[in-house]
Amino acid sequence: MSLTAKKERFFVTTVRLPKPVYERAKRAINTGQADTHSFNDFVVQAVNERLRSLREQEIDAAIAEIANDPDYQRSAVEMAQEFERSDWDAFREAREAKSQRRNVHRGAAAAKANQR
C-alpha cells in the first residue's frame, strides 16, 4: 500500500494519557491480556469499544422515547390485535405437535418395555 493510501485511511494524532493508565495498558499488552501486540491497536480498540457503547446508549434512548410515544403505542396495540388470531393458531399447532411427539415417544417406550 502506498504512503498516500495509508494517509487517507489513518489520521495520526497524539494522545496524552495519565501515566498509570499508560502503564496498565502496556502491562496488559506485554502480559498477553490484551488481544493485540501494539499499543496503537490497543488504543484503537478501546476507542472503538467506547464508540460502540455510545451508539448503544443512543439506540436505547431512542427506544425509551418510542415507549412513551402514544402514536407508537396505539400502532403496537393495533398490530398485536391484527396478529392475535394467527399467533394463537401457531401456538395451538405447536402444542399439538409437541403432544404428538410425546405420544410417539411414549408408544415407543411402551413397546420396548413389552419386548422385555
Instruction: Give yes or no for residue 39 having a pLDDT over 80.
Output: yes
Asked if the structure places residue 76 within a domain, the reply is no
Q: Residue 35 — φ and ψ, nearest 5°?
A: -90, 35
pTM: 0.56
Q: Which domain holds residue 51?
A: 1-68
Q: Tell me, what's the pLDDT at 13?
A: 92
Chain Cα centroid distance, residue 77: 26
Number of folded domains that form the chain: 2
47 pLDDT above the threshold of 60: yes
6 or 97: which leads in pLDDT: 97
Say which residues have a Cβ less than 8 Å from residue 33's Cβ, sequence separation at least 6.
27
The reply to whether 107 falls in a domain is: yes
Burial of 39 (0-12, 13-18, 19+ CB in 10 A): middle
Residue 5 has pLDDT above 70, yes or no: no
Average pLDDT over the chain reads 87
Same domain, 94 and 63: no
